[in-house]
Structure 1
Amino acid sequence: MNEQLHALVEHTIAKGVGARVFALRWQNRRIWIKQAVASKQKGWHRLQRLLATITGIAMLRPTVSPGGKTGLASEASILRKLSDKDILVPDLVCVTENWIAIGDNGAIVQTRIEENIHPGGNEAVAKLIETAAQGLAKLHQAGVAHGAPLLRNMTIRDDGKIGFIDFEEDPNARMPLVDAQARDVLLFVFSIQRELKKRPELLRFGWHAYVTAAGFDAPQLKPLRKVVGVLRPVYLMLRPFRRWLGTDALNGLLAYRTLRKSLKHARR
């Protein structure tokens, strides 16, 4: 362990940095310090586990981080594994029981999209979503899943290479790989809908960019078709009340509709 870095981080935390994740300058580059937190297990996760057992849908199993030093050690292990697979993830600078220091991984995709949401920026936004979808497909083709591939957890370098951050959850350890990857696809599509709710064409574009890269015969699409079928009664029940639904529920309905239509047409 680098004693100077350790002293700098501990001093910064002691001053009351006010954030769980914060940036520092170290050896002429920006690094990020991520502190340990308590487990986020809640009552909803027990219900989620019960639903997974009743329906037989593995992707419904909760993947909440164990928290504490166990959570940090798990994230560090995942970063090492993905780096060995040539996936762009932050390099590990230092690992302790209370925090880890990681390198910068590029610009956040969501931030880049927000910068280009203006008249004349359509082409740039579409390209960012396409590149992100292709990056997720490449991650899946490497034989792993992310756990939360939201636009805010994806990065892009100046050379256009997509990277990933935030590996607090490890779905690979809690469900079969194809189910974990199918869950990734659901979360990715939902993230596009949530951030770009007034641009439904971008949701469709992101979904088609993913399946074009992964292939409609990709094994992870089989459990995805299953969960889309199981959720149809819920969709039909909620659709008449969409005017009164919360934002996340409404975005979920819209994302579901896009997936269902696309998967239905793909069978023909």
Structure 2
Amino acid sequence: MTPPTRLSADDLARITRSSGWRAHRIEVFDTSVGRVIVKGQRPARHPARYRLMSGLARLLGTPMLAAAPALGGVQGQTIEIDRLQVLGAAGAPVPRVLHVAGDYFVMTWLGNTQLAEMIHRHHPAALSLWQKGAQLLSALHAKQQYLSQCVARNVVVDDRGGTPRVAGMIDFEDDPRQIMSLAEAQVRDWLLYLQSSLWNLPANNETVDWHVDHWVQAEHIEVSQLFARTCRKLALLRHLPRSRRWGRDTVAVQAAAAFAHRYAQRHAAH
């Protein structure tokens, strides 16, 4: 028997009364249709954040690194719902939207663990899960789609059973296609995925390089060529400090730039 997909009146009343999602934006509920996530609206972010990131993108000549506007409020909620519906229709493993209200919406719950957490703990399945996340990204790009914030913390792992599995992707409050091409948005996906994971991934350079070569070369030629050109521009950042005393973000960028340098060397003729 197919499970119901509509929240009951009691479910909605309980969600409406709750102060949890109002205070913290996110709240998990067990309902008549299963476990769900309620997501409240985010206030618009200060534009200075976008000017800084966009200025850095212009300086490096890498437009795909520019910050997509996170509009917040009703506009941000509308963007996220639209993106979830488009990606879901394309077969992407994203939450299903179950209910939309004026200041929140409800979606299905995928799991309780992030890929970033599994990598950070050096879980025995971390490398396999990282590979699975990248394979999902490749499959999504093959369908002419793209994500938003394609970072390891937004890759959800369901570890309730014996073997952890990648359950899907979350967080679509911005739309990179508002400011860049499809190819740039897809390269952005790869850059964010690598930047958020390589610095702490339990794998040697040879393993990482082999897998990423395979995935990127399977992309549309415009994407693979743009990725190679971008790696050449980012390689200079490999000289950033590698010590954690400079902060995790610095270490993460350095690790991604070190990979970019290796990639640029291997694909110098492209």
**For this structure pair, what is the TM-score category when the shorter chain's length is used for normalisation?**
0.7 to 0.9
Select 2:211's aligned residue among 209, 212, 219. 209
Structure 2 CA distance for aligned equivalents of residues 255 and 265 of structure 1: 15
TM-score, normalised with respect to structure 1: 0.82
Equivalences for 1:4-19 in 2 at 5 Å? 4-13=10-19, 18-19=23-24
Shift of 1:208: 3.7
**Secondary structure, counterpart of 2:42 in structure 1:** coil
Consecutive unaligned residues in structure 2, runs of 5 or more: 1-6
Cα shift readout 1:67-104 (whole Å, capped 9, x = no counterpart): 00110111000011011101111011101220010001
Cα shift readout 1:205-226 (whole Å, capped 9, x = no counterpart): 4554344234256432322222
Equivalences for 1:79-228 in 2 at 5 Å? 79-110=84-115, 113=118, 117=122, 121=124, 124-156=125-157, 160=165, 162-194=167-199, 196=200, 199=202, 201=204, 205-206=207-208, 208-215=210-217, 218=220, 219-228=222-231
Aligned residue type for 2:215: A
- How many residues align? The count is 258
Contact residue 216 and residue 224 of structure 2 kept, 8 A? no
Shift of 1:184: 1.2
Higher deviation after alignment, 146-155 or 92-101: 146-155
State, as a whole percentage, how many aligned pairs show the same letter: 21
Structure 1 CA distance for aligned equivalents of residues 104 and 22 of structure 2: 13
**Secondary structure, counterpart of 2:156 in structure 1:** strand
Structure 2 CA distance for aligned equivalents of residues 230 and 200 of structure 1: 24
Contact residue 216 and residue 266 of structure 1 kept, 8 A? no
Aligned residue type for 1:9: I
Partner of 2:80: 75
Runs of 4+ in 1 over 6 A off after TM superposition: none
Shift of 1:48: 2.6
Partner of 1:25: 30
Structure 2 CA distance for aligned equivalents of residues 204 and 148 of structure 1: 26
Shift of 1:155: 2.5
Structure 1 CA distance for aligned equivalents of residues 49 and 35 of structure 2: 37
Shift of 1:171: 0.9
Cα shift readout 1:100-152 (whole Å, capped 9, x = no counterpart): 1000124534277259736xx2xx22211111111111122121221212222
TM-score, normalised with respect to structure 2: 0.81
Aligned residue type for 1:5: D
Partner of 1:61: 66
Consecutive unaligned residues in structure 1, runs of 5 or more: none
Equivalences for 1:223-238 in 2 at 5 Å? 223-236=226-239, 238=240
Higher deviation after alignment, 243-252 or 152-161: 152-161
Contact residue 61 and residue 233 of structure 2 kept, 8 A? no
Structure 2 CA distance for aligned equivalents of residues 116 and 133 of structure 1: 19
Structure 2 CA distance for aligned equivalents of residues 145 and 103 of structure 1: 21
Shift of 1:12: 0.9
Cα shift readout 1:170-229 (whole Å, capped 9, x = no counterpart): 1122211111111111111111134x26x352x764554344234256432322222322
